[in-house]
C-alpha cells in the first residue's frame, strides 16, 4: 500500500456523512432467487429503488474467490507494472482518473470489455507475459454472472407480464452485446481518521448507462444509493451476495417504470474495498425505446429515439454526476 502525504487528499472530493443512513436488513430489497414468486419482488425493487440484493444465486464461490485472488495480485503489483496495463481509454488500468472528462476518485481499477474473446490481443497486451490466469478467472466469472443476469432479466419480464420472456435478456446475451466489466480497488485512506465527520469519494455519484449492473464486493463497506428524497443510504457489504443496479437503458425500455439508481462509493479509512461489476449492455446498433408490450392505451414514450451507440457516445462526453438520460427525455428534466 502506498502511504500518501497529507496534502494529497485535498485534491479529492470530501463529503459530509451525516445525511446518510444504513440500509436496515428489514428494509433492504433482498431477493431470494430460489423462491418461486421472486419475480414480483424483483419488479417492485426495480420500481421503488432501482436496486436490490440477490441471495441464493447459485454462483459457485470458486469463480468469485479465484477472480478476487487474481485481482488482489494485480493491484499489489508496483504502480509502474500496473501502469503497463493503462491508461484506461476506455479499457485498461486506471488510477484516480475516471472517464475522460476530469472525474477523480480514491480508486484504482481495471476496465475491460466483457467479450475478451473478441479483443484478445489488446486485452492480453495489458498483462505482459502471462495474462492467462487472470483472463481465465475473468472469463469464467463473466460467463456465470451473465447467466444470472439473464435469469434476472427474464424473471423481470415475467413479473411485468410481457412476452417473450427474453425481451430484455436477449440484449445482453447477444454475441454483439456491448457489455463491460470492471474491477475496482479502493485502498484504505488512513488520513480519513483525522477528518471527523467527513468521507472521501472513492467513486462519485452516477447512474450506470447500461441495462443492468451486477456488483459483488468484499466485506468492506462504501457503497451508497440515493433515495427519492435525495438522502444517501449505506448498503451493508455482503461478500456472499450480489447487488443489482438498474441502468439508464432499462429505465428507458420500461418507459420509466424502473428507475436507474444514483449510487456512489465512499473510501474507507482502514480497509481495502474490492468490487467487481458486470455492466450488461445491448449491441451498439440496438434501438433503445420503451417496449411496445409495456405501453398502455395512449401512453407516450418519455424519451427521444436513440441507439445504444448514440447514448454511449453522448455519455462519454459527460461527467460522472451528470444526468445523462436528461438529454434524451422528451420533457426536459428540471
Ligand atoms: C465519467 C465517465 C466514466 C464513465 C463514462 C463517463 O463519461 C460517464 C459514465 C461513466 C460510467 C459509469 C458506470 C461504469 O462504471 C462505466 C464503465 C460506464 O459505462 O459508465 C463508467 C464510465 C467509465 O469509467 O469510463
Ligand atoms: O465499486 C463499487 O462498489 C461500485 C462502482 C460503480 O458504481 C461503478 O463502477 O460503476
Ligand atoms: Fe456504477
Cα 99 to ligand 1 centre (Å): 6
> Which member of 182, 273, 313, 319 is catalytic?
273
Residue nearest to atom 25 of ligand 1 (CA): 99
Cell numbers for 54, please give them: 440477490
The answer as to whether 18 is a domain residue is no
The answer as to whether 184 is a domain residue is yes
Closest ligand by atom to 322 CA:
1
- H or E element at residue 280: strand 273-280
Domain span at 120 = 31-324
Catalytic annotation present for 273: yes
The model's pTM is 0.92
CA separation (Å) from 20 to 224, 230, 232, 234, 266?
A: 8, 10, 5, 7, 11
The answer as to whether 91 is a domain residue is yes
Query: Residue 289's domain is classified under what CATH number?
Result: 2.60.120.330
The answer as to whether 98 is a domain residue is yes
The answer as to whether 234 is a domain residue is yes
What is the structure's pLDDT at 5? 43
Cα 332 to ligand 2 centre (Å): 27
List own/partner pairs for 81-89 with CB under 8 A and 24 or more apart.
82/108, 84/126, 84/128, 85/110, 85/126, 85/127
Question: DSSP states of 179-217 as a string?
Answer: -EEEEEEE---GGGGGSTTEEEEEEEEE---SSEEEEEE
The answer as to whether 23 is a domain residue is no
What is the structure's pLDDT at 7? 44
What 3-state class would DSSP assign to 44? helix
- Residues whose CB is less than 8 angstroms from the CB of residue 54 and which lie 6 or more positions away in sequence, other chains included: 30, 31, 33, 148, 152, 241, 242, 243, 244
The answer as to whether 129 is a domain residue is yes
Give ion ligand 3 contacts, CB < 5 A: 208
How many folded domains does the chain comprise?
A: 1
What is the structure's pLDDT at 105? 96
Residue nearest to atom 15 of ligand 1 (CA): 208
| Pairing between β-strand 212-217 and β-strand 14-16 as defined by DSSP bridges | unpaired
What is the structure's pLDDT at 325? 97
- H or E element at residue 22: strand 20-22
Rg (CA), the chain: 19
Cβ atoms 105, 222 nearer than 8 A: no
The answer as to whether 329 is a domain residue is no
> Which residues surround ligand 1 with Cβ inside 6 Å?
90, 98-99, 101, 103, 111, 180, 182, 206, 208-209, 279, 315-316, 318-320
Closest-lying ligand 2 atom to the alpha carbon of residue 245: 7
Closest-lying ligand 2 atom to the alpha carbon of residue 203: 5
**Could you read off the pLDDT tens digit of each residue along the chain, which spans 334 residues?**
444 444 456 566 666 654 444 444 435 689 999 998 899 999 999 999 999 999 999 999 998 999 999 999 989 989 998 888 888 988 889 999 999 999 999 999 999 999 866 555 555 666 654 567 788 888 899 999 999 999 999 999 999 999 999 999 999 999 999 999 999 999 998 877 666 667 789 999 999 999 999 999 999 999 999 998 898 999 999 999 999 999 999 999 999 999 999 999 999 888 999 999 999 999 999 999 999 999 989 999 999 999 999 999 999 999 999 999 999 999 855 5
Cβ atoms 266, 222 nearer than 8 A: yes
Amino acid at each position: 500500500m502506498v502511504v500518501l502525504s497529507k496534502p494529497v487528499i485535498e485534491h479529492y472530493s470530501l463529503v459530509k456523512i451525516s445525511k446518510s443512513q444504513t440500509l436496515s436488513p428489514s428494509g433492504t430489497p433482498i431477493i431470494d432467487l430460489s423462491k418461486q414468486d421472486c419475480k414480483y419482488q424483483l419488479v417492485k425493487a426495480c420500481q421503488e429503488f432501482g436496486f436490490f440484493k440477490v441471495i441464493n444465486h447459485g454462483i459457485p464461490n470458486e469463480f468469485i474467490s479465484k477472480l478476487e485472488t487474481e485481482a488482489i495480485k494485480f493491484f499489489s503489483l508496483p504502480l509502474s507494472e500496473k501502469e503497463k496495463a493503462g491508461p484506461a481509454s476506455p479499457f485498461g488500468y486506471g488510477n484516480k482518473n475516471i472517464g475522460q472528462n476530469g472525474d477523480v476518485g480514491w480508486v484504482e481499477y481495471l476496465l475491460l470489455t466483457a467479450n475478451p474473446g473478441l479483443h484478445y490481443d489488446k486485452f492480453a497486451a495489458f498483462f505482459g507475459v502471462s495474462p492467462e490466469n487472470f483472463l481465465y478467472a475473468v472469463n469464467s466469472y463473466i460467463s456465470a454472472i451473465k447467466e444470472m443476469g439473464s435469469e434476472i432479466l427474464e424473471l423481470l419480464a415475467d413479473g411485468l407480464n410481457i412476452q417473450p420472456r427474453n425481451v430484455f435478456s436477449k440484449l445482453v446475451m447477444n454475441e454483439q452485446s456491448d457489455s463491460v466489466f470492471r474491477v475496482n480497488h479502493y485502498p484504505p485512506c488512513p488520513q480519513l481518521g483525522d477528518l471527523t465527520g467527513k468521507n472521501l469519494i472513492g467513486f462519485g455519484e452516477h447512474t450506470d448507462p447500461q441495462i443492468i449492473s451486477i456488483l459483488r464486493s468484499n466485506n468492506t463497506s462504501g457503497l451508497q444509493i440515493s433515495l427519492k428524497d435525495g438522502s444517501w443510504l449505506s448498503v451493508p457489504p455482503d461478500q456472499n451476495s450480489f447487488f443489482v443496479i438498474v441502468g439508464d437503458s432499462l429505465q428507458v425500455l420500461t418507459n420509466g417504470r424502473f428507475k436507474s439508481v444514483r449510487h456512489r462509493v465512499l473510501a474507507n479509512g482502514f480497509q481495502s474495498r474490492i468490487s467487481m461489476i458486470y455492466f450488461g449492455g445491448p449491441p451498439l446498433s440496438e434501438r433503445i425505446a420503451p417496449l411496445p408490450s409495456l405501453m398502455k392505451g395512449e401512453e407516450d414514450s418519455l424519451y427521444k429515439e436513440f441507439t445504444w451507440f448514440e447514448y454511449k457516445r453522448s455519455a462519454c462526453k459527460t461527467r460522472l454526476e451528470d444526468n445523462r438520460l436528461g438529454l434524451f427525455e422528451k420533457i426536459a428534466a428540471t
